Structure formats: C-alpha cells, structure tokens
Amino acid sequence: DAGVIQSPRHEVTEMGQEVTLRCKPISGHNSLFWYRQTMMRGLELLIYFNNNVPIDDSGMPEDRFSAKMPNASFSTLKIQPSEPRDSAVYFCASAKTGAGETQYFGPGTRLLVL
Amino acid sequence: RKEVEQDPGPFNVPEGATVAFNCTYSNSASQSFFWYRQDCRKEPKLLMSVYSSGNEDGRFTAQLNRASQYISLLIRDSKLSDSATYLCVVKGNDYKLSFGAGTTVTVRA
C-alpha cells in the first residue's frame, strides 16, 4: 500500500512568493495533520483535519498560512506571502480514528525561502 | 516548561553496546506514550508504543513510570542501523501528539 504522499519534496522560493504544499493521505484514513519541523522548535502541529473538516488550526502561525482539505484524498497547505522564517520541513501525517490512531508521516517537503 | 523533554545526546556507543535514555512529560493526564524513530532527513516513524507494564520489541525495551512521569527506551546489542534520532511522544485524551526534541544515538563500528 502507498504511504502518505507529499509534493513537492523540495521547494526553493523567494520571499514574498506563494508556496503550496500538497498531501495525499493513506486511503481509508480520516484524520490528517500538517506539522512543521525546525531545529529550534522541533515538530509542531499546524492544523488537524477530521473527515475533511478542520478541527484545530491553533498551530497555524499567522494568517499567511492556510490549509484546505477538499476531499478525503487531498490536502494543501499554502503560505502567502512566504518569508525566510518559514523555511522548515513540512510533514503531512494521516491516521485512522479509532484504530490505535497511529500517525503515519509522509516524506516531508523541505522548504527554503530566500 | 516544554510538554516533553528529552536529553538531546548524542549518545555515541560501539556496536553491541546497550544504550538507554529517558524522557519526561509534564501533563499527568497523558494517556498514551510512544517512541518514534527519525532517520536523518527522513520522516518520523513509529518504533513502539509504551505500555504501563513495560514492553519489549526485539532488542528494544520501553518502560513507563507514571508516578514520576517519565518514559525510557533501552536498546540492547545495538546495531549500526540503530543510529537515528529517537522521539518521545505523548498523547492526551484527544488527537494531539506532543513530541520531544529527540535523542540522537550514533552506533559506531
């Protein structure tokens, strides 16, 4: 079975540009999480969706960040405008509610904002 | 105070050695506990859950001490492939996982 799929794997952009990160969760999973990982702050939860509905977006750092989940098999995280301090690895994870709720992480998107 | 605190290491050990490290958590209401493993430039992957009575998975042994709010991981007969960062993860009664910053283990030949 395919795991969580993320694209792009790497992104280099200039400050002020829009960045869109994409995630395809594992089929049958109904929970989706977006995380950000940096050396300074470790892994931080940005937003959590359950059954395509955003449940908790308290970790989204600013209005520049937005996330959508239009259907059960696709989610996006958008940063507009991007800033150098947004440089990080962004992970998407999915889980099946009630089945131990182990979160399975995608390979991540390494974002560098110049 | 961070929710989950870990000794960052690094722990440098020779092949075949035993290495052990702990993490502490601040929320006494935490209900589930895990160790995740993260290789360099890779995603975190579940290594094992941690149960109240302690549990083993091959060369890995996890212990939970609820009274002192700490979790431990012990690796016996360490292999080169055990070199990684080990993340202590704590879950409350909701969906949120709280991650420690990780303990780096390097196994040398």
Give B28→chain A minimum CA distance, Å.
Answer: 20
Three-state SS for B76?
A: coil
- pLDDT (0 to 100) of residue B9: 87
**pLDDT tens for the 114 residues of chain A, in order:** 689 999 999 999 999 999 999 999 999 999 999 999 999 889 999 999 999 999 999 999 889 999 999 999 999 999 999 999 999 999 999 998 865 578 999 999 999 999
pLDDT of residue B58: 96
| Structure confidence by residue, pLDDT tens digits, B45-65 | 999 999 888 899 999 999 999
Residue (of A18, A14, A16, A29) closest to A92 by Cα position: A29
Chain B residue closest in CA terms to A92: B43
Kindly determine whether residue B99 and residue A56, on different chains, have CB atoms separated by under 8 Å: no
Question: What is the structure's pLDDT at B71?
Answer: 96
In angstroms, the CA B6 to CA B98 distance is 12
Q: Looking at residue B53, what is its pLDDT?
A: 87
Across the interface, whether the CB atoms of B43 and A91 are under 8 A apart is answered yes
| Separation between Cα atoms, residue A44 and residue A9, nearest integer Å | 19
> Tell me, what's the pLDDT at A100?
59
Q: At residue A62, what are phi and psi to the nearest 5 degrees?
A: -155, 175
Query: What pLDDT, on a 0 to 100 scale, did the predictor assign at position A47?
Result: 96
DSSP type of residue A87: -
pLDDT in tens, A55-80: 999 999 889 999 999 999 999 999 99
Segment-wise mean pLDDT, segments of 10 residues, chain B, 109 residues: 88 96 93 94 95 92 94 97 96 86 96
Interface contact B96-A48, CB threshold 8 A: yes
